[in-house]
């Protein structure tokens, strides 16, 4: 299976490429009043309005808010729904053997379903089903 591995606040995360529609650079966004803290705003991608999620705030809601620098946006799809995620950088796009994916017994974070080891880094694999609830 192919994985998109990206960094966020010096940690490594991954999405399965089957859920990724595209990777793009920064896009201007429009803030949404009274939205959750992790909703950065709305982006217009070729005529499609998509919610832009500040992934750092979604994964670490209790951490002190700091200015997040990001270089890429990953557009993820589930059926017809699309969500855009702000990430620091896309590190690798790699083929991963299914046997290399280690399922987590104790769900410390419901958004992380498993881990893989890539180039001396432990990478948290995002549970796509939880993102679209």
- Domain extent listing, the chain: 2-131
CA–CA distance, 86 with 55 (Å, rounded to integer): 6
Residue at token pair 């399965």: 16
* pLDDT of 9: 83
* pLDDT of 41: 96
**Taking the model in full, what pTM does it have?**
0.87
Q: What is the mean pLDDT of the chain?
A: 88
Q: Does domain 2-131 have CATH number 2.40.50.180?
A: yes
pLDDT 10s digits, 59-117: 876 666 555 678 899 999 988 889 999 999 999 999 999 999 998 876 666 788 899 99
**pLDDT at residue 44 above 90?**
yes
Largest Cα–Cα distance in the chain? 44
* pLDDT of 80: 81
* pLDDT of 127: 86
């Amino acid at each position: 299976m192919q994985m998109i591995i990206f960094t966020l606040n010096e940690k490594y995360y991954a999405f399965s490429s089957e859920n990724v529609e595209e990777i793009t650079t920064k896009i201007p966004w429009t803030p949404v009043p009274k939205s959750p803290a992790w909703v950065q705003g709305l982006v217009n991608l070729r005529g499609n309005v998509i919610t832009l999620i500040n992934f750092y705030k979604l994964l670490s809601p209790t951490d002190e808010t700091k200015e997040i620098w990001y270089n890429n946006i990953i557009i993820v799809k589930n059926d017809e729904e699309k969500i855009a995620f702000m990430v620091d950088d896309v590190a690798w796009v790699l083929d991963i053997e299914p046997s290399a994916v280690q399922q987590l017994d104790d769900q410390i974070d419901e958004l992380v379903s498993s881990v893989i080891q890539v180039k001396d880094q432990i990478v948290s694999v995002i549970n796509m089903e939880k993102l679209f609830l």
